[in-house]
């Protein structure tokens, strides 16, 4: 399962749907692009937010590099997802999922309206 930043943030902040993320965390992947978004958002309240990484990695979560192939897929998605207002980080997550042929988990319900060759699991 590929995690969007919104999914991991839901877990870390105890939001609705955190249990769904917890259930897959031991086998989940997150792109370095989305990890950066998680750290940035957590840093608003805790400047040492990145220090949580070793603890998360001990659960089995893998933070994986954003590849050239994924960058090209993310670029190709721009026109299709522009009407939905998706960010670069959203496209990076989707591209990682597409390139790895893996399901994706997000808190962004709007992703279910996309016509993509992946399964989107929405937390809430």
Here the CATH number for the domain that contains residue 109 is 3.40.50.1010
SS3 65: coil
Q: Residue 48: pLDDT above 90?
A: no
Burial 11-42 (b: 16+ CB within 10 A, else e): bbeeeebbebbeebbeebbbbebbbbbbbebb
How many domains is the chain built from?
1
- How distant is the alpha carbon of residue 85 from its chain centre? 16
Q: What residues make up the domain containing 117?
A: 2-122
Quick check: pTM over 0.85?
yes
Give residue 116's pLDDT. Answer: 95
pLDDT digits (tens, 9 = 90+) for 78-103: 999 999 999 999 999 999 999 999 99
């Amino acid at each position: 399962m590929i995690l969007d930043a919104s999914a991991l943030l839901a877990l870390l902040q105890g939001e609705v749907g955190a249990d769904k993320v917890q259930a897959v965390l031991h086998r989940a992947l997150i792109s370095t692009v989305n990890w950066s978004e998680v750290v940035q958002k957590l840093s608003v309240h805790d400047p040492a937010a990145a220090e949580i990484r070793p603890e998360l990695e001990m659960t089995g979560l893998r933070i994986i590099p954003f590849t050239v192939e994924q960058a090209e897929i993310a670029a190709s998605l721009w026109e299709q997802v522009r009407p939905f207002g998706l960010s670069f980080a959203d496209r990076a997550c989707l591209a990682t999922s597409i390139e790895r042929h893996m399901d994706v988990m997000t808190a962004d319900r709007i992703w279910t309206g996309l016509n993509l060759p992946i399964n989107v699991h929405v937390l809430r």
